[in-house]
Structure 1
Amino acid sequence: MKINFVISFTLFSLLVLTTSPPLPVKADGGQLDQNRKEIYHQGWIDLNKNGRMDVYENPKAPIDARVNDLLRQMNLDEKTCQTATLYGVGRGRNATDIPLKDELPTPEWKHKLWKDGIANIDEHLNGVGPNGKSIYATDIPKHVWAMNEVQRFFIEETRLGIPVDFTNEGLRGLAFSTATSFPSELGQGHTWDKELVGEIGRIEADEARSLGYTNVYAPTLDVSRDQRWGRIEDTYGEDPYLVSRLGVEMARAMQKNYQIASTAKHFAIYSIAKGAREGQARTDPQATPHEVENIFLPPFKAVIKEAGLLGVMSSYNDYDGTPVTGSHYWLTERLRNDFGFRGYVVSDSAAVEYLYNKHGVATDMKDAVRQSIEAGLNVKTNFTPPEDFVLPLRELVKEGKVPMQTLDDRVRDVLRVKFILGIFDHPYVDNANRAEKIVNSPEHQQVALRAARESIVLLKNDRHALPLSKDIHSIAVIGPNADDDNLTRYRYGPNQVKGTTVLQGIKNKLGDRVKVNYAKGCDVTDEHWPQTEVLPEPLTDKEREEIAKAVDVAKRSDVAVVVLGDSPSTVGETASRTSLDLPGRQLDLVQAVYATGKPVVVVLLNGRPISINWIDKYVPGIIEGWFPGAQGGTAIADVLFGDYNPGGKLSVTFPKTVGQIPYNFPTKPNAQWEGEKTRVNGALYFFGYGLSYTTFGYSNLRINPLVVSESGRQGSPLTVTITCDVTNSGTREGDEVVQLYTRELVTSVTTYEKSLRGFERIHLNPGETKTVSFTLSRDDLALWNRQMHFVIEPGKFKVMIGSGSEDIRLAGQFEINR
C-alpha cells in the first residue's frame, strides 16, 4: 500500500508541476483575468504572501516537510480553526441559529472566526434544505464560480492561505441538486458487483471534484444487523465480508489519483442500537467483543489497509459505556495504531456535544472538547457555529489542559490530507464547462441504469409469472409507489433530480399499443401511522373508496402490477420501526386486487426487508427493487417484460416475523430442535438468495492444495485456490453471483456455520460455461481466539460454493497443518 501511495502521489505531483495554478472561473464559466493579488506564480502559489517560496508552498517538497513547515508558521488561532467544520449556507440548529448566512464571501468574513481559516465547509450550495433554490445550487457554472469565490477567500484573505476542504454527502450519488442518481447503498449491495460499485465511486468522485467538492462522506461501512433499524438502507448489507469488498472498491475508486478523499462512516459499532431504538445518541449497542471483531470492524480495517482511506467519521454511540468520539481506544489505539489510518477523523454531527448532553461523561462542552481531542478526533462537525468547539479548545491549550503537541498532531492530519488532495497547489476548479458536461451526463446515467437493473432481486416466479408478455391489451399499475418521483430524491444524495417512476417506465416500454390503467389505491402509511403498528384501526370510508378504485382498474385490465414498499417516513435516519410488515393499508390493497382473479405481480420499492408472508404465499411473481434511483422505473420495466434478466442477490435476510430478530447471516449453529411445530423457523428469504429467468449449473470443483502448511508453501504466504465451472443451462442470457463459503470444522471457539469468503458476478449466454476462481488468504481463514487475537488454527476446512447461503451446489475440504 505504501509503494502504491508513493507512486500515485508522485504522478500527481508531476501533473501539478507542469502547469501553473489555475485561476478561478467567471460565473459564466469563462476564465478570470490575472488575480488582483500577485500571489500566483508558475507552478506555485505564494500562500503566505511573503514574496518567496516557503517549503509548504513548494509542490516538489515531500508532504511531511510541507506539513511541518506550515505548522511551524501557524499560531494558536490558526491551528484551532483547522479542527472545526463550518456548515454550508443556510444550515443550522434552527431557522434563526445559522452559522453561515452567506452564499459568497462578504466583508464581514474578515471579522468572523474563519478569518484564520477552517478545516472544512460541509454541504455548501449542494441543493439540500435552505439553499435548494439558490442559483448557485442549480446552475452548474454559477455553482463552480461560487465555490471558487469561497475558496479564494481562504487563499487570498487569510494570513497563511490554507485552503478549505469542501465536504459533502454521497450515499446514492453525490449530494448535489442534479448529480447522477444511483440506487441506495443497500440496493448497490444487492448487485454483488465489485466492478460496478467501483464505477459508481469513480463517477461520484469525478462529479464531486468538477463541482468543487474535495471530500465525500461515503461509503457507509456499517454492517446492518437489525432489520428494524432505519438506516439499514444506507448500508451494503448484513455481512462483513460483502461490506468490506464493496467498500474497498468504492473508496479506492473515489480516491484514485487522490481526486477526492473518501470519508467512511460510522466508526464504530453504530449499526446495532439496542432494539433498533436510535434516539439521538445511538446508545448501548448490544455486541460481544467477538462480534465486534468479526462483524463490525472488518470493513473499516479492510478499507483503511487496502484503499488508503483518507477520512473516517466517528459515531454518536457508546460501546460498553464509553462513547466512541471520546475514546482514545477507538480513535487512536484501534483506528490509527492497529489499522494504520493516516487521514483525519471528523465527528458525526453533535457527537462531541453528546459526550455531555446525552452520554453524561463530560461536565460541559469544554470538557467534551478536551476528551474528544485527546481521544484522537481531528475535526468537530455540527449544525452549530464552529466557535462552540474552537474557543474552548483555545482556552484548554492556554490553560495547559491540552498540550500543544496534541493539537499539532490533530492539525497535522488535516493538513496532510489537504496536501495529498493537491488543493494547496490547485485550490480552484479551472473548468466549469467540464462539470456541466459530466454531471448527470448520458454516460453516467447509463451506469446508473445498469446499477438499478443489477440491484433488482427476483424473489418469486411461480408458474413463470414473469416476465410479462408485451402482447397484452391492458395493464393495471397500482400502488402508492407506482408513480412516486420523490423516491428518486434523497437527503444524502441527488436531491432535485427527476426520475422515471415505475408507471412511467411501463408506459415508455409499452407505448400506445397497450392501455395502461393507473390507481394509487392507498398511501404508504395511513393517517394514524405509526400508532397503527401497535394499535390497528379499521379502514376508513375514504380508504375503502381508494382501494375500490384500484380494484376497478384491475378488473378492467389483463394483468395487475402492484407497487408497494416504503417511503422516507417509514425508513431512513431516525425512522426505525417496531414491525417489518407492510405499513399502512398496503396489504389490504394487494389482497383486494388479488381477489379480482386477475394475474398479479408485486414490485417492492423499499429500504429494508419486509415480512411479506401473505404475498409470498399467494402472489406468483415478486420483484424486489429497493430504492433504485432515477433510472429505477426503466429498470423495473425492463425486468417486468423480460428485456433484462434479474441477477441480484439478497445482502440481507428477510425474516418471516419481527419476533425472529436477531436473524442475520452469518449465524452460529441453530440450537432449536428440527421439526419443532410451535415456532416459525427459517427465513422468508435467506442471505444470498435471488432467482433468475434462466438456470445455472455448477460443476468441477477443484481445491489446490488439499493440504497446506500453516506457514505457506515454499516461502510463499498461505493461500488456497478454489475453482469451479458455472454453466448457463437455460434459454436466456443472464447473470449469476457465484458465492464461496467456508467453515473450519473443529475450533477452539464457536464459529459461524458459514462465512462468506468470495463472490463473483458473471454474465453467461445460454449454454456458455465460465471458470470461476477464488484465492483464500491467511486473513480469510483466521479466527478470533480465546486470547483475543486473530490466528490460524490448523485443522480441516469445509468449502461450499453455490447460488446462495442456503443453496450450496458444490462442497469439498482442505486441511491446514502445522
Structure 2
Amino acid sequence: MDYFVPSFQAAINAGVATAMETYIDVNGQPVVGSHFYLTELLRNRLGFEGMLVTDWAELDRLFTEHRSVPSLKDATLQCLKQTSVDMVMVPESESFSKDAVTLVQEGRLNRPRLVESVAKVLQLKKDVGLFDQPLSDPALLSLVGSQQDIEAAKEAVRESVTVLKNKDGVLPLSKNKKIFVTGPAADSIRALSGGWSIKWQGAEKDEWYQDRGDTILDGLRHEFGDRSVFYAPSVDFDGNSIEKEHGAYLRAAAEADTIILCLGEKPYAEIVGNIDNLDLPWGQLEIILKISERIRGTNTKIILVLVEGRPRTLQWLTDRVDAIVMAYLPGPWGGYPIAEVLSGTVNPSGRLPMTYPRGPSDMGANYYRSGIDPYKPLFPFGAGLSYSTVEYFGLRLDHTELHTATYEEKDVGNSGDLLEEEGEEEGEDRDEAGSENDGGEEAIEEVQIDDGDNSNNNNAQNLKKHHHHHQKRDTIIPPTRPRKRHSGSPPSSIYATIRVKNTSARSLKETVFWYITQDYRSDIMPEAYMLRGFEKVFLEAGESKDVKFRIRRSALAYHGRNMRKRVEKGSFTLTVNAMRPEAQSIKFNVV
C-alpha cells in the first residue's frame, strides 16, 4: 500500500482512462478474481472510474492455472461477480460471451452487472471518438515515423542515459581517439528496442525496422567519424563466439585508444524473458576479462555500455572497466544519443530509477528498505554522474514544526481517501499559479523551482480539468471547515529550500531528490528513506537556483499493522539526495 499503490493513485488522479489487471496472484489470491484488488482497492479506494480489462486469457487461467474454480463457466461467474472487470482481452473467447448470457438466464448473475460494464466500454468508445469515426483516419499515416516523433524519441534518450562510473574523468571522449567497438548490442537496433517491438518477443532481424533507427555503432561513427571508429564482432547475446577470425577482436582492441563494449540482453517480453541468474551470460562477461588482460599496462580505456531492461549483475568485473554507462532499452533511435553522451555533446542527466544489485544476495533490495537492513548495492537508487560539478548548500525549513493529530482511517472498508485530512489554513491550498487544488492529497507533492516558471503546474492542472475520466475522490469523512491557524501555533505544512549551484563551465540538468524518514515509529519499523518528490533543474554554467519542496501531512502517512493509514507524531528527517555524495539532511517535528 505504501510502496506500490501510490503510483497507481497518481495515474488515476491524472485521469487515466483504462486499467489492466495482472497475471499474478498476491499472497495466493489471483488478482483477476479478487474483489479486494479490483473492486475495493481500485474502484472504491483509489477512485478509478474507467474501463478495466483483463490481461490475455486471464479469465481462463482462473480454471486452468490458478485453479480457483472447477470450470470456465465458473471462472466467468467468479470474475464478473467478485470483480469490476469490464472487458476480456481475448477477442475470440466465445466461452466468456456465451457463459455470461447463460449465467444471467440461470439467475446466478445479475443483469445490471453486465450493463455496468457495457456502459463503461461504450463510454470509452465515445470518449475516443469511435462513434464519430470508427476507422482510423488515413491522413494520420503520414505522421507515423515523422521527424518530430524521431526527435522526441532521441530527446527522451538524452534525458535518461545514466553514467554510473567515470574513473578519472575518462568521459567525455575526445574526438581524436581511435575507438574500437564490440559486443552483441553494438550494432543491433533490435537490442535497443527490446520486446513488444514489431512482435511480442521483439524483432528477429534489424531489417524489419526498414532503416528506421540507428545502432550504437552508427551513432559513434556519426559522432567521431568513420576513420576513428572500428568494429569487430565477438560474441552474441548468449555469449557464444561469432568471430569471423579467431582472436580478431582482441587484436583490434590492443590497437585502440578507447574500447567501447556494448553488452546486454536480447529482446524478450513477459514469461519468455524469465531468467534463473541475474548475471549476464559468462561469454559476455568474459569479453571484459579478456580485453582487460590484453591491454594491461597500457593507457587504453574501457567503456562499458549496458543495453538492458533490468539490472544484470556483472560480478567482480566492474573494476576492470573505466566507465559504465546505463542505456536501458532506449528504442530504435537510441544509437545517436548514446554516442552524444559518450562524446560530451550531451551532458548526461539520467539517474538510476532502480537499485542495481551487486549480486544475487541483494537482488531484492529496495532503497526504502527497513532501516536496519544492509544496503550495499553496486549502484544505489538515484545514482548517476554528469560532466559538471554541482554544489548543494543552505538547506533550510520555514518552520521546524508541523501541526497534525494522529489521524487514522476510521474503517478500512470504507470508500474514498485513505487519510482523513483536517481543513487547511485559508489560502494554503492554492498553488503558485493561483489555482485551487483538486481536493485529493497525493503522496508525492509538487516540487517548485523558485524561478517564476510554473508552466508545468498549469499544464498538469489543465490535463486534470479536461480529461473525460478525472473525478474527485469521495472522502471517508466530510471535510471540516477551513480554519485559521492561531498566531504562534505550528503550520499544517512547511516548506524546505536548498540552493543548487553549477560550479562548472558546462550547463547541465540536475535532479534534486527529496526523501523523508520518520525517526521513530511505534508499530511499523520506519523506512531508511521514502522518496516524496523530485525535480530536474536546468542550470547554466555558474548559475545557482533555489529549489523548494512542500511537506504536507500526506508525505508523512503510512499504513499501520491494522492496514489503516495514519500520521504519527514525532521527529522526522528530510534528506536531499540521499545515497548520493552531496546528501544533506535537516530535522523537523510533527506535533
- TM-score, normalised to structure 1, is 0.58
> In structure 2, do the counterparts of structure 1 residues 371 and 670 end up closer, same or farther at CA, with 3 Å as the change threshold?
same
1:643-654 maps to which residues of 2 (within 5 A)? 643-654=345-356
Give the aligned partner of residue 84 of structure 2.
376
Give the aligned partner of residue 182 of structure 2.
478
1:706 and 2:386 matched: no
CA contact (8 A) 2:239 2:284 kept: no
CA contact (8 A) 2:391 2:582 kept: no
Per the TM alignment, residue 668 of structure 1 is displaced from its structure 2 partner at its CA by: 0.5
1:784 and 2:559 matched: yes
Amino acid at match of 1:744: Q
Distance 1:523 1:799 in 2: 47
Distance 1:545 1:426 in 2: 55
> In structure 2, do the counterparts of structure 1 residues 646 and 546 end up closer, same or farther at CA, with 3 Å as the change threshold?
farther
Amino acid at match of 2:149: H
Distance 2:265 2:519 in 1: 41
Distance 1:591 1:492 in 2: 33
CA contact (8 A) 1:373 1:410 kept: no
CA contact (8 A) 2:233 2:243 kept: no
Distance 1:799 1:591 in 2: 43
Give the aligned partner of residue 214 of structure 2.
500
CA contact (8 A) 2:233 2:244 kept: no
1:448 and 2:158 matched: no
Q: What runs of 5+ residues in structure 1 fail to find an aligned partner?
A: 1-292, 528-541, 673-680
Give the aligned partner of residue 525 of structure 1.
238
Distance 1:337 1:524 in 2: 46
Query: In the alignment, which of 274, 278, 285 is matched to residue 576 of structure 1?
Result: 274
Post-superposition CA distance 1:159-218 (Å, at most 9, x none): xxxxxxxxxxxxxxxxxxxxxxxxxxxxxxxxxxxxxxxxxxxxxxxxxxxxxxxxxxxx
CA contact (8 A) 1:778 1:792 kept: yes
Give the aligned partner of residue 377 of structure 2.
683
- TM-score, normalised to structure 2, is 0.80
1:609 and 2:311 matched: yes
Distance 1:772 1:724 in 2: 5
Distance 1:720 1:420 in 2: 40
> Counterpart of 2:497 in 1: which secondary structure?
strand
Distance 2:263 2:58 in 1: 36
CA contact (8 A) 1:523 1:584 kept: no
Distance 2:501 2:80 in 1: 56
Distance 1:487 1:671 in 2: 35
Give the aligned partner of residue 102 of structure 1.
none
Per the TM alignment, residue 695 of structure 1 is displaced from its structure 2 partner at its CA by: 1.1
Give the aligned partner of residue 360 of structure 1.
67
Post-superposition CA distance 1:567-616 (Å, at most 9, x none): 125x7543122222221411111222222323221111111112224332
CA contact (8 A) 1:547 1:589 kept: no
> In structure 2, do the counterparts of structure 1 residues 449 and 543 end up closer, same or farther at CA, with 3 Å as the change threshold?
closer
> In structure 2, do the counterparts of structure 1 residues 745 and 488 end up closer, same or farther at CA, with 3 Å as the change threshold?
closer
> Counterpart of 1:574 in 2: which secondary structure?
helix
Distance 1:456 1:599 in 2: 20
> Counterpart of 1:294 in 2: which secondary structure?
coil
Higher alpha-carbon deviation: 416-425 or 324-333: 416-425
> In structure 2, do the counterparts of structure 1 residues 452 and 418 end up closer, same or farther at CA, with 3 Å as the change threshold?
same
1:513-552 maps to which residues of 2 (within 5 A)? 514-526=227-239, 548-552=247-251
Structure number with the bigger relative contact order (C-alpha 8 A, sep ≥ 6) is: 2
Per the TM alignment, residue 800 of structure 1 is displaced from its structure 2 partner at its CA by: 0.5
Distance 2:496 2:291 in 1: 48
Distance 1:619 1:429 in 2: 50
Per the TM alignment, residue 699 of structure 1 is displaced from its structure 2 partner at its CA by: 1.3
Give the aligned partner of residue 170 of structure 2.
465
Higher alpha-carbon deviation: 696-705 or 641-650: 696-705
- The structure with more helix, counted as a fraction of residues: 1
Query: In the alignment, which of 696, 717, 723 is matched to residue 390 of structure 2?
Result: 696
1:165-244 maps to which residues of 2 (within 5 A)? none
> Counterpart of 2:69 in 1: which secondary structure?
coil
> Counterpart of 2:286 in 1: which secondary structure?
helix
Distance 1:550 1:684 in 2: 28
CA contact (8 A) 1:547 1:592 kept: no
> Counterpart of 1:690 in 2: which secondary structure?
coil
Per the TM alignment, residue 787 of structure 1 is displaced from its structure 2 partner at its CA by: 2.9
> Counterpart of 1:352 in 2: which secondary structure?
helix
CA contact (8 A) 2:288 2:321 kept: no
Give the aligned partner of residue 11 of structure 1.
none
1:438 and 2:143 matched: yes
1:68-147 maps to which residues of 2 (within 5 A)? none
Distance 2:10 2:368 in 1: 18
> In structure 2, do the counterparts of structure 1 residues 467 and 647 end up closer, same or farther at CA, with 3 Å as the change threshold?
same
Per the TM alignment, residue 712 of structure 1 is displaced from its structure 2 partner at its CA by: 6.6
1:800 and 2:579 matched: no
Give the aligned partner of residue 326 of structure 2.
624
> Counterpart of 2:272 in 1: which secondary structure?
coil
Distance 2:50 2:108 in 1: 25
Per the TM alignment, residue 308 of structure 1 is displaced from its structure 2 partner at its CA by: 2.1
Distance 1:763 1:421 in 2: 36
Give the aligned partner of residue 179 of structure 1.
none
Give the aligned partner of residue 313 of structure 1.
20
Per the TM alignment, residue 643 of structure 1 is displaced from its structure 2 partner at its CA by: 0.7
Per the TM alignment, residue 491 of structure 1 is displaced from its structure 2 partner at its CA by: 4.5
Q: What runs of 5+ residues in structure 2 fail to find an aligned partner?
A: 200-207, 405-421, 430-491
Give the aligned partner of residue 733 of structure 1.
507
1:295 and 2:3 matched: yes
Identity %: 32
Equivalent residues, number: 495
> In structure 2, do the counterparts of structure 1 residues 492 and 343 end up closer, same or farther at CA, with 3 Å as the change threshold?
same
Higher alpha-carbon deviation: 502-511 or 412-421: 412-421
Query: In the alignment, which of 580, 595, 611 is matched to residue 293 of structure 2?
Result: 595
CA contact (8 A) 2:308 2:329 kept: yes
Per the TM alignment, residue 321 of structure 1 is displaced from its structure 2 partner at its CA by: 2.6
1:405 and 2:112 matched: yes
CA-based RMSD: 2.1
Post-superposition CA distance 1:295-349 (Å, at most 9, x none): 2222112211x11222110112222232111122221111111111111110000
Query: In the alignment, which of 546, 553, 556 is matched to residue 771 of structure 1?
Result: 546
> Counterpart of 2:294 in 1: which secondary structure?
coil
Per the TM alignment, residue 395 of structure 1 is displaced from its structure 2 partner at its CA by: 0.9
Query: In the alignment, which of 650, 669, 673 is matched to residue 371 of structure 2?
Result: 669
Post-superposition CA distance 1:640-689 (Å, at most 9, x none): 111111111111111111122321121101256xxxxxxxx711100111
Query: In the alignment, which of 265, 269, 279 is matched to residue 566 of structure 1?
Result: 265
Give the aligned partner of residue 446 of structure 2.
none
CA contact (8 A) 1:646 1:692 kept: yes
> In structure 2, do the counterparts of structure 1 residues 464 and 547 end up closer, same or farther at CA, with 3 Å as the change threshold?
farther
Query: In the alignment, which of 283, 286, 291 is matched to residue 585 of structure 1?
Result: 283
1:21-100 maps to which residues of 2 (within 5 A)? none
Post-superposition CA distance 1:763-813 (Å, at most 9, x none): 2122111121122233221111233211221222211112x5344532112
> Counterpart of 1:585 in 2: which secondary structure?
helix
Amino acid at match of 2:251: D
Post-superposition CA distance 1:108-143 (Å, at most 9, x none): xxxxxxxxxxxxxxxxxxxxxxxxxxxxxxxxxxxx
Distance 2:293 2:243 in 1: 15
Per the TM alignment, residue 693 of structure 1 is displaced from its structure 2 partner at its CA by: 0.9
> In structure 2, do the counterparts of structure 1 residues 816 and 547 end up closer, same or farther at CA, with 3 Å as the change threshold?
farther
CA contact (8 A) 1:309 1:343 kept: yes
1:2-13 maps to which residues of 2 (within 5 A)? none
Distance 1:654 1:719 in 2: 34
Distance 1:376 1:760 in 2: 36
CA contact (8 A) 1:564 1:603 kept: yes
Amino acid at match of 1:682: K
Give the aligned partner of residue 655 of structure 1.
357
> Counterpart of 2:58 in 1: which secondary structure?
coil
